[in-house]
Chains A and B, each alone.
Chain A
């Protein structure tokens, strides 16, 4: 009887000890939530693989993916921030995190960012997520706006493709678009349904920033530098008549059928459209992505995808370790290849180039990193609202020819005063 009791007590003791050890082990595991809006199947798979490999190699910090709808990122993040249920690691973009930073929802990463990570990304890109000395996002992937051309049409017209060393200037682009316009074909099909991003990004070719700091306040200005690109776009549609006016009401991807069908010789789109060219163009379609257009410079505004840490997170250091892993050379190259976006780390760009057959377009895309500059509007908290309520409708009206350039400038300025003055 005594033996049975002793055995029972020993078994109980062992069970308690094992359970205690298990509980202790579980309690020491840091659990991180990672909210991400990756949506292309290739990137979703790459993202999942990266998280799985992290979880395998870091048993003490386990990451769980929380998918976010790509078209509702702001709403989803806002409710989770206000509700106190935000994920630890947040995938967003520079222009959107400005507001969240101002509202205090994002952690200051400046003291957390490892020196090695800091070195791998150009300073011009860190500037896009630096809000008054506080960095609240790690820049990851970017896009440029490029010309895509039907090379057969260009060759038959005797027009040579631009090169990285000798890119087209805006006047050359306009002249060639005009030359390529015939009775049954337009020089360019340009999807300008939402023209603000492309207009403002490319306006930096002439130094157009639209927003300038005056007496400590961000002021909207519409001077010659800011007007240049949008005026040329307008003139291509209405003066040169080299841009298909019907296509201007469509999105960038919606004009692809016309481009593939030979109804226009060129289109302007985000560099990621290269993926659609490969997957959807007719067999034998001879296309090329051209280097960035040149005004005074080839600069374009950088609005990178970012990885931030929620201020509510209780595991900020662990979250930073994970972000560093996520954007290391190999992983960033995998994510870039999935979305056809440009990695913020030029070394990751080189790796991406090596891993693909379409080296031409990847070379042009990754060589563009040096032309990225901070756009003042990227860090303005009121910018997303101004863009949605004021800029989009007014740019559309101007490009349709419904309002003059003066009216456009006045409306944009009044709208900014109304929204920012609140």
Chain B
């Protein structure tokens, strides 16, 4: 009797804690959803209600149509920049991570040290030299320039992540393939890559979301409003001295969150596998 009750109680507590955690995580999103359907007067009520009293789509209409549908244009820009960044980062990161994970020697150690070191410079320190470099390459105010920066910015972390996944794949598999006459490239594409799919998904997703959410580089590099990305658009709802256009901001922020949420939902299976795979060592 005691044996069967304890696990049930434990499970109940576990589920209660999990539910509490889910509410904690999901509440800001739900509150944002609620705000996005409220009018300007209801948004500053002293005792706000969760369910909007005067339900309105006005905030969505404003967010989507304001400035000649600027939000939509900025959303397309973000999608373009984030997708290309994710693709390029993974394409460059995968072979580099393989070499760094499998080759041992002074150059590898120096390379890893340098990658780690490059992560230690604060953003504010590198932004002006980076801007000057992009200007000389005529890449300011262009998506290409922004993608180059995002790839460079995301690559060190991606490399470390992919390296840990590659190290988790037994070396014996590659040795067996070598014995069978496979080349390095064939091993990478035919043996390593399929086993790394979860890791690749996770790193691609990381690169995508980093680029999707990034604000400061986009602020400095982009000038033309037709080229700007979503985070810059969202910032325009926040004005001086804490004055915020809460309604349109909530609507626009919710629309901006949607692609990431959908992407997560689709590939969460891979994500869970990838996380587990990365956690296993040796």
Interface residues of A (CB under 8 A from B): 39-41, 44, 65-67, 69-72, 75-76, 78-79, 82-85, 191, 193-194, 250-254, 256-258, 260-261, 263, 270, 272, 276, 279-283
Known A-B contacts A39-B236, A72-B219, A257-B45; the reply to A84 vs B135 at CB < 8 A is yes
Known A-B contacts A69-B235, A83-B131; the reply to A75 vs B45 at CB < 8 A is no
| Distance in Å: Cβ of A92 to nearest Cβ of chain B | 13
Chain A residues near B236 (CB, 8 Å)? 39, 67, 69-70
Chain A residues near B223 (CB, 8 Å)? 66, 85
| Cβ < 8 Å to A, chain B residues 106-132 | 127-128, 131-132
- The answer to the question of B220 belonging to the interface, with a C-beta cut-off of 8 Å to chain A, is yes
| Distance in Å: Cβ of B188 to nearest Cβ of chain A | 40
- The answer to the question of B66 belonging to the interface, with a C-beta cut-off of 8 Å to chain A, is yes
| Distance in Å: Cβ of B214 to nearest Cβ of chain A | 14
Bound complex: CA A133 to CA B239 (Å):
33
| Distance in Å: Cβ of A393 to nearest Cβ of chain B | 17
**Across the interface, do A67 and B242 meet the contact criterion of CB distance under 8 Å?**
no
**Across the interface, do B242 and A191 meet the contact criterion of CB distance under 8 Å?**
yes
- The answer to the question of B201 belonging to the interface, with a C-beta cut-off of 8 Å to chain A, is no
> B36-44, B95-103, B202-210: which lies at the A interface?
B36-44
**Across the interface, do B43 and A252 meet the contact criterion of CB distance under 8 Å?**
no
Chain A residues near B66 (CB, 8 Å)? 41
| Distance in Å: Cβ of A241 to nearest Cβ of chain B | 21
Chain B residues near A281 (CB, 8 Å)? 41
Name the contact of B140 in the complex, choosing from A83, A251, A258, A272 (C-beta under 8 A): A83
For the complex of A and B, 6 pairs with smallest distance between CB atoms: A251-B242, A261-B46, A257-B44, A257-B46, A83-B131, A280-B44
Chain B residues near A257 (CB, 8 Å)? 44-46, 48
Q: Mark B216-241, 1 if CB is under 8 A from A, else 0.
A: 10011001110010001001101111
Chain A residues near B30 (CB, 8 Å)? none
Name the contact of A280 in the complex, choosing from B40, B135, B235, B239 (C-beta under 8 A): B40
**Across the interface, do A79 and B243 meet the contact criterion of CB distance under 8 Å?**
no
A-B contact pairs, 11 of them (CB 8 A): A44-B67, A66-B224, A75-B219, A75-B220, A82-B128, A83-B132, A83-B140, A253-B241, A257-B45, A260-B44, A280-B44
Bound complex: CA A282 to CA B54 (Å):
13
* Interface residues of B, count at CB 8 A: 33
Chain A residues near B232 (CB, 8 Å)? 69
- The answer to the question of B185 belonging to the interface, with a C-beta cut-off of 8 Å to chain A, is no
Question: Among the interface residues A41, A44, A261, which one has the most CB atoms of the partner chain B within 10 A?
Answer: A41
**Across the interface, do A253 and B242 meet the contact criterion of CB distance under 8 Å?**
yes
Considering the complex, give the chain B residue whose CB is closest to the CB of A275: B243
Bound complex: CA A44 to CA B221 (Å):
22
Considering the complex, give the chain B residue whose CB is closest to the CB of A341: B240
Bound complex: CA A403 to CA B149 (Å):
45
Chain B residues near A256 (CB, 8 Å)? 44
Chain B residues near A67 (CB, 8 Å)? 225, 228, 236
Chain B residues near A83 (CB, 8 Å)? 128, 131-132, 135, 140
**Across the interface, do A40 and B220 meet the contact criterion of CB distance under 8 Å?**
no
- The answer to the question of B244 belonging to the interface, with a C-beta cut-off of 8 Å to chain A, is yes
**Across the interface, do B241 and A82 meet the contact criterion of CB distance under 8 Å?**
no
Bound complex: CA A282 to CA B135 (Å):
51
- The answer to the question of B24 belonging to the interface, with a C-beta cut-off of 8 Å to chain A, is no
**Across the interface, do A261 and B241 meet the contact criterion of CB distance under 8 Å?**
no
Bound complex: CA A39 to CA B243 (Å):
11
**Across the interface, do B220 and A85 meet the contact criterion of CB distance under 8 Å?**
no
Considering the complex, give the chain A residue whose CB is closest to the CB of B232: A69
Considering the complex, give the chain A residue whose CB is closest to the CB of B128: A82
| Distance in Å: Cβ of B64 to nearest Cβ of chain A | 14
Bound complex: CA A280 to CA B46 (Å):
12
Bound complex: CA A338 to CA B47 (Å):
30
Chain B residues near A263 (CB, 8 Å)? 46
Bound complex: CA A252 to CA B135 (Å):
40
Chain A residues near B132 (CB, 8 Å)? 82-83
Considering the complex, give the chain B residue whose CB is closest to the CB of A276: B243
Considering the complex, give the chain A residue whose CB is closest to the CB of B243: A253
**Across the interface, do B140 and A193 meet the contact criterion of CB distance under 8 Å?**
no
**Across the interface, do B128 and A79 meet the contact criterion of CB distance under 8 Å?**
yes
| Cβ < 8 Å to A, chain B residues 21-80 | 40-41, 43-48, 66-67
Bound complex: CA A264 to CA B236 (Å):
31
| Distance in Å: Cβ of B58 to nearest Cβ of chain A | 13
**Across the interface, do B47 and A261 meet the contact criterion of CB distance under 8 Å?**
yes
**Across the interface, do A253 and B244 meet the contact criterion of CB distance under 8 Å?**
yes
**Across the interface, do B140 and A279 meet the contact criterion of CB distance under 8 Å?**
no
Bound complex: CA A78 to CA B219 (Å):
12
Chain A residues near B131 (CB, 8 Å)? 79, 82-83
| Distance in Å: Cβ of B74 to nearest Cβ of chain A | 12
Chain A residues near B45 (CB, 8 Å)? 257, 260-261
Chain B residues near A280 (CB, 8 Å)? 40-41, 43-44
| Distance in Å: Cβ of B21 to nearest Cβ of chain A | 28
Bound complex: CA A276 to CA B43 (Å):
12
Considering the complex, give the chain A residue whose CB is closest to the CB of B248: A41
**Across the interface, do B241 and A251 meet the contact criterion of CB distance under 8 Å?**
yes
Bound complex: CA A250 to CA B241 (Å):
11
| Distance in Å: Cβ of A144 to nearest Cβ of chain B | 13
Question: Among the interface residues A71, A263, A270, which one has the most CB atoms of the partner chain B within 10 A?
Answer: A71
Considering the complex, give the chain B residue whose CB is closest to the CB of A250: B242
**Across the interface, do B244 and A79 meet the contact criterion of CB distance under 8 Å?**
no
Bound complex: CA A257 to CA B47 (Å):
8
| Cβ < 8 Å to A, chain B residues 182-215 | none
Chain B residues near A82 (CB, 8 Å)? 128, 131-132
